[in-house]
Structure 1
Amino acid sequence: MNTHLLQTLFPTGYIKSTYDKESSDLIIPIDNGFFYLSKQDISQREATLLTELMIKQPVTKVSNGHLWYDYLFNQVEMPTSSSYYRIIQIRIRKDATNKKMWLTHFSKLFDSIVDSFFIDETSAILVEQQTTILYSTEDIRAMLLTLEGEFLIQATAFVGKFQQVSPTFITCFKEEQTIFNQFFSHFHPNDVFVFEEVALEYLTKKAIKESALMTNLYQSTIFDEETVLMIKTLWTEQGNMTSSAKKLYTHRNTLQYKLDKFSEQTGISLKNMTELTLCYLMILSL
């Protein structure tokens, strides 16, 4: 029985993302939280059937009223669902007394946030159910900027991938946590990033550090501040000399000279995308 059918059969019922242990209503776990139904609106037979058929786990397993918190952190089983969800991890720059109100307002800017909560003083989780409305990183960045003016709270967000609840969901979430913790400091306040933006560094960092050849190459290559900036700019501009020179505020011929000089000293040509990629990975990972 899905949420829509429950709402059709019991129109006086309502949905909440949290579990209220003080409520006298019959509380049924559903895809996007809990369905509350007054016992006065149903017969004893209906209450018994709903309890036996739809309440799959003791509600005492839900701590702090958040089913998704227990699923992500306490290994509590989730009701079966065909929906797709993604986890948006948030970290505010400093603790704030109005952070819960800020999180509530932030959640309401989305079409389908099924749960949201803080897991410590500065870290929060939003669980978004996939709908026809897809929010980009630019959309979410605009939301953060909008709320900063009202609440004076700055935050950084890491947007996970949509996936179904399955045995691999928690594994992927834990890896997303690792990525967020590792790269959080790389981004400015009110910035938003996704896995693709840090994938190269995340996936290659350990392998490069463990390579004796890469370590020796790094140590024998001149990577001063100017050279590092040059390599990063060339990489961002996909090796384009004209746009790279413009970004570096230098003449194209001057950049050409520096590339030739670097090649003479190291034997590495930054005009070659493969060798440029190699140098880019070195400066990211070592």
Structure 2
Amino acid sequence: MSIEEIFPGAVLGQKPVEGDWVSIERHNQVIYLPAGELTERERYLLGMLDEESKDTSLKDPWLAYFLGEKEVMPLDLSKVQLVYIEHQFPFSAELVELMEGLLANVVAMPNLTPTRSLMILDQTKVLDARVIIEDLLPTIESDFAMSLTVAFGNTWSNVRGSDLQAYFADENRLFSDYLMHRGETQTVTFASLALWALVNQLAQPSIKKKVLQQIGSMEDMSDVITRLWQEHGNLMQTAQHLFIHRNSLQYKLDKFQSLSGLNLKNLDDLAYCYLLIQEI
């Protein structure tokens, strides 16, 4: 059960102009609660949670970075992927150790909140985290008697300074929105999450800007995406209509995936890029 469900009068984001409000930070968002509807005990507990979150961010360099307290990533990564894990109860030390040991490229695993953890993956050498985690989820849930929901963020290349902060803010917020409306899904990919948000007109400014920049950085990439969509993903027909060899088309798709993290042979990835282009 979420704070929003417990307190129907809660307001996310900008503080209301009128009234007395108590604020708490959750999932990198500020939530304002009407002070008049809170008991003294509720105010005390919410204050403890808020202070605990602030203290944790100061201790963990990655969490401090994602919350905007530091401008530079603790470790310079040329390709990085964020995996968001929602869980019913705080992770035990044993479960954290297990999760960190699942993938050889885990850089860190800070707790965003008591019920949400973040896996930071170095994808310089690409490792399909989704396949590994999905295979082991049933076993993990059974062994630890805990339900998990996992969102796989995009693989971002050439991130500098606060770039990753912005992508994290979009991905993390969209994951929260997704859980509220589609909570029955156990895992969700970046493309399906971003596509769902696009169709539902949810804000993802940093993500959209970055993907459009990557599309524009490659010659004729908009034409490739449009024709590939029109041909329902058929590479041979797409190459014929573009008057290029199929191998040349495959080279373009591979280069775009390396640059953007998006595989245009996947329908969700293709649909997301195609709809982005239509918005221009």
TM superposition score normalised by structure 2: 0.46
Select the structure of larger CA radius of gyration.
1
